[in-house]
């Protein structure tokens, strides 16, 4: 991947590869996702429990399950993107999976500490001035997203079995933040475009007093399309993320 490669080309390649290889993607993604989704569904009541300790324990367990789930499917999908001929070992948990789990845990703990610090500062200031508190909250969130982006390439490196440090990720990712943000926003917009159009169509039908009489039959196909689009987004974003890592690695 060239460092000056156009954004739309990156987006097109990530969507095209995921769409053409949707079955292999489902092989490595479906089981971990279902496990984490089932746990979330079963524990959703306790997440909103009035007792903060119960909610905290369930939330921590839920995050841990999602970390393990991601460490199962992300390295497999990234390595399949790098070498499709090798195929996917569905139930294997190899060294790259373990490395990804370790680094993603450290990464997530760091992000959580940043969020805790940002929320604490904005809350403290908010007691004296709600306006300044809101401004600091927005600035803190932007800073957390930016810092997370700069350090995030430690994860695709782990998935590929490459040894880089968090500071390597920070140094090498300098100068690509706006391009990375543009790719993420473009991917999100294109995948959600059908739903935007369907929403506009439903509003139009409602305005001319036809409403659900016409739009009703499209509800099930629309729901299935939404599910497929979100699946596509998982795979496409991971491919684009990997491409960005390979790009900064060449610096």
- 105-121: pLDDT as tens digits: 999 999 999 999 988 88
Answer for the pair 67, 101: CB distance below 8 angstroms, yes or no. Answer: yes
Work out the percent of the chain whose per-residue pLDDT is above 70: 85
- Rounded to whole angstroms, the Cα distance separating 72 from 151 reads 21
What length is written for the chain?
A: 251
- Rounded to whole angstroms, the Cα distance separating 63 from 68 reads 9
- Rounded to whole angstroms, the Cα distance separating 146 from 154 reads 15
Could you tell me which of 66, 73, 25, 75 has the C-alpha nearest to residue 235?
25
200-236 pLDDT, tens digit each: 766 666 655 554 455 555 566 666 777 788 788 889 9
> For residue 155, what pLDDT is reported?
96
Token pair belonging to 176 = 């690509």
State whether the Cα torsion 198-203-207-209 is positive or negative.
Answer: positive
């Amino acid at each position: 991947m060239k460092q000056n490669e156009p954004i739309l080309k990156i987006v097109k390649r990530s969507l095209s590869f995921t769409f053409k290889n949707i079955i292999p993607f489902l092989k490595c993604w479906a089981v971990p996702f279902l496990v984490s989704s089932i746990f979330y569904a079963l524990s959703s009541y306790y997440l909103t429990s009035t007792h903060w300790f119960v909610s905290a324990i369930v939330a921590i367990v839920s995050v841990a399950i999602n970390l393990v789930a991601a460490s199962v499917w992300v390295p497999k999908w990234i390595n399949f993107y790098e070498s499709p001929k090798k195929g996917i070992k569905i139930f294997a948990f190899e060294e790259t999976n373990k490395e990804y789990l370790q680094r993603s845990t450290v990464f997530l703990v760091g992000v959580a500490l940043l969020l805790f610090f940002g929320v604490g500062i904005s809350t403290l200031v908010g007691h004296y001035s709600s306006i300044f508190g809101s401004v600091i909250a927005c600035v803190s969130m932007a800073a957390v997203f930016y810092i997370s982006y700069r350090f995030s390439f430690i994860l695709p490196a782990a998935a590929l079995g490459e040894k880089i440090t968090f500071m390597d990720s920070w140094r090498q990712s300098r100068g690509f933040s706006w391009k990375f943000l543009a790719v993420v926003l473009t991917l999100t917009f294109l995948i959600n475009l059908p739903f935007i159009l369907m929403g506009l169509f439903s509003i139009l039908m409602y305005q001319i007093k036809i409403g659900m009489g016409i739009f009703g039959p499209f509800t099930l196909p629309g729901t299935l399309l939404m599910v497929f689009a979100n699946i596509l987004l998982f795979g496409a974003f991971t491919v684009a993320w990997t491409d960005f890592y390979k790009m900064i690695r060449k610096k």
